[in-house]
A and B are shown apart, each in its own frame.
Chain A
Amino acid sequence: MIAAMRGFAVLATCLVLALGQAKAEDFVLGSHLPLTGSLAQVGNGMHEGIQVAVDLFNRENQGHQVKLNTIDDESSPAKAVAAVERLASERVVALSGGYGSNIIGPASEAAAKAKLVYITSGGVGPELSQRGLEYFFRINNTEGYSKAVTGLIDDMGVKKVSIVYNNKEATTDLARTVEKTLSDAGIKVSSLAFDGGHADFKPLINKVKLQDHPDLILMSGYENDYIGILRAGNVLKPDIKAIVGVWSLATSEMNNKFNDLVQYVYGTSMLPYPAEFATPEAKLFAETYEKLYGKAPDYLGQFGYVQTRLLLQAVLRAENDGTLGKGGLADELRKTDEETLIGRVKFDKNGDNPEFAQRMGQHQGNKVVLVWPAKAATGKMVFPATPWSK
């Protein structure tokens, strides 16, 4: 009898442990990102935000635990598709991630074939949300960046703008959208594309200086492009009133690492630096991020966090409603209407977020001051000013 009771106790303990184990990993969230290769920097930055969202979700929802399964797509579209197919075969609940429009395009189509919800902030090209994919969601887009850049330029009252842009898809899309908006507003615009990477930008900036004579140079590129262009500007000293960039520029990292080089340069930024996190959620995000990675969160982390948080909230709602296993996640995500770290998120029928609007920051000393729009401004813009005129 005692032996039977002991056996029952062991069996019961095993069952409890097994159930506990199943409960602890209720959902597996899939992610593919470029953790190596040419996009490794941005891929890792976004992955940090996704991980923070998963950690916070697990802390807040003891009943439902999420495990993150990330596959490195090595900055390759083919490997991203293979990663999505593998994650689908491993029955992940949904996908959060992807960087680069040329990678997100085929990867999200593979996700759609597997009827998996795919949410991203790594590709802003307009065509991504025009494919009629029922399972595709995106929290940011070219329009949101364009509105901020053109709004700032409009406020400056300049007459001639030179756009220099990396010939990759997202940067080209943005340059063309801004060019059209500025031209429609009566501003004279000239555009020059360049190959991304580590080129010598002096011949390009010299061409702008000698032929275009602009009031303002707009750079649509990435970190290493900005550094190259600003260094070329510092040598050639074109007589302009301002120099403006887009993503990856008005960041704490650029302010810390290249402080002299970026003085008075503008870039898109949701938060000033040092960051001022106002809401309890934002404070919790920043604390968790700093605890996990030992640094202040940047814009990539914020986007990765927001998209994943919204996705996990929808997963939880669908699970509680009993629709998760019946394809209800996409419908649940489409109901999202929330104020987040990157502003309001509300998806349209294409899964895009028409509410997305960026802000503009300017490097001023050891700070990034938000200068546009006026309602979000944390300081006044210093205009006219460039790094070489300071």
Chain B
Amino acid sequence: MFELGLQAIYSGVLTGGYYALVALGLALVFGTMRVINLAHGELVLLAAYVAYSAEVHLAISPIAAIPLSLVVVSLVAVLVYVLLSHITRDRELNSLILTYGLGIVLTNLMLLIWSADIRSTTATWFQEGAVLGDTLYSSRSEVIFFLVSLVLVAGLWFWLTRSWHGRAVRAVSSNRDAAMLMGVNPRTTEVLSFLVAGLLATFAGIALYTGKTIDPPLGHALTIKAFIITVLAGMGSIPGVLLGAMLIGITEALTISFVSTSLQDLAGMVLFLAVLLLRPQGLFGFGTRRG
């Protein structure tokens, strides 16, 4: 029983790292622009498909395909931003509709280009076991991308809190007009947010491609998972995304091990609803000040 629980927690932590990678980009755009990019999961999936094409047609490893995926995903992320920037009324609601539609378009484009077949890396190195102390089991891909997620969370947090551009992003999110008066160009800042979200989506896509299987309808499920984690963490809290993602991962793994495998997603959703009821601002978010 102890061994089962320990492995469940370990698997949950590693899965949490992967979930955090998927959610970070969405959380960044949500935190800076108050826009929920419902095409974010499709961007993650696009990065995975570019890695697949690079592996099959150029015979390069998924890791070496990161620059190529980054270029493609960044271009699409900027395109999403350009379309969003044309919304002048009811931005929060209309951006939801627009990005949802873009998600459908991207899904069908991926279906046309890569067909509906299941894909995953053929490089077996990523799937080999990485055993810790003869009791904790994982694949190499999981360990690598868990470490990558830690580095990216720390890097993103540092960028947002310590760099001028990061502060500009926070300033625009906090008060767009005041930021403009202080010499910040909101458009440049927002494009930058989308580009960074594209970078995060790229790493998430490579983690997905090396660790799991992909098919075109998967993007929508990734967006839902990212949205749940973003809300659970609390708006604008980057370290909260990692902790919230781990909480979801551990809850799901413990549910599989001790309750029922079928209830895995339900357990995550119950946790999400409980947090929404008890702490609407999220686990690590701040309450809205009124006055």
Contact = CB atoms under 8 A, between A and B. Distances in A.
A206 B217 contact: no
Nearest to B139: A235
B173 interface: no
A203 B260 contact: no
A211 B8 CA distance: 14
Interface string B232-253: 0000000000000000000001
B116 A40 contact: yes
A41 B116 contact: yes
A194 B264 contact: yes
Given A38-B217, A231-B127, A260-B124, A193 B11 contact: no
Interface string B110-137: 0100011110101010011100000001
A224 B116 contact: no
Contacts of A223: 118, 213
Interface in A113-171: 164, 167
A200 B253 contact: yes
A202 B137 contact: yes
A237 B215 CA distance: 27
Interface string B253-290: 10011001110110000000000000000000000000
Contacts of B137: 202, 206, 235-236
B4 A234 contact: no
A203 B213 contact: no
Classify chain B's interface size: 35 or more
Contacts of A260: 124
Interface string A207-224: 100110000000000011
Given A202-B7, A203-B7, A253 B117 contact: yes
A294 B47 CA distance: 27
A112 B252 CA distance: 43
A82 interface: no
Interface in B206-246: 212-213, 215-218, 221
A206 B111 contact: no
A211 B4 contact: yes
A197 B221 contact: yes
Interface string A31-63: 000011110110110000000000000000000
A390 interface: no
A203 B215 contact: no
B53 interface: no
Contact of B262 (A167, A237, A253): A167
B52 to A, nearest CB: 11
Contacts of B257: 203, 206-207
Contacts of A375: none
B61 interface: no
Contacts of A234: 127-129
Nearest to B264: A195
A128 B7 CA distance: 41
A192 interface: yes
A236 B136 CA distance: 9
A277 to B, nearest CB: 23
Contacts of B139: 231, 235
Nearest to B10: A202
A43 B8 CA distance: 35
A351 B36 CA distance: 50
Given A197-B221, A203-B8, A234-B129, A43 B116 contact: yes
Contacts of B260: 193
Contacts of B221: 197-198
A37 B217 contact: yes
A71 interface: no
A207 B256 contact: yes
B129 to A, nearest CB: 4
A228 B212 contact: yes
B8, B118, B257 — which one has the most chain A CB atoms within 10 A of its CB? B118
A199 interface: yes
Contacts of B124: 260-261
Contacts of A197: 221
A164, A210, A211, A231 — which one has the most chain B CB atoms within 10 A of its CB? A231
B127 A40 contact: no
Contacts of A210: 3-4
A41, A206, A237, A257 — which one has the most chain B CB atoms within 10 A of its CB? A206
A28 interface: no
A257 B55 CA distance: 12
Interface string A331-344: 00000000000000
Contact of B261 (A38, A41, A75, A194): A194
A223 B117 CA distance: 10
B74 interface: no
A204 interface: yes
B96 to A, nearest CB: 21
Contacts of A206: 4, 7-8, 11, 137, 257
Interface in A179-205: 192-195, 197-200, 202-204
A205 to B, nearest CB: 9
A44 B117 CA distance: 9
Nearest to B18: A200
A2 B74 CA distance: 72
Contacts of A75: 217
Contacts of B117: 41, 253
B256 A198 contact: no
B116, B128, B257, B264 — which one has the most chain A CB atoms within 10 A of its CB? B116
Interface in B70-111: 107-108, 111
A228 B211 CA distance: 9
22 contacts: A36-B108, A40-B116, A40-B217, A41-B116, A192-B261, A194-B256, A194-B261, A194-B262, A194-B264, A195-B261, A195-B262, A198-B218, A203-B12, A203-B253, A203-B261, A206-B11, A207-B4, A207-B256, A207-B261, A234-B128, A235-B127, A257-B120
Interface of B: 3-4, 7-8, 11-12, 15, 107-108, 111, 115-118, 120, 122, 124, 127-129, 137-139, 212-213, 215-218, 221, 253, 256-257, 260-262, 264-265
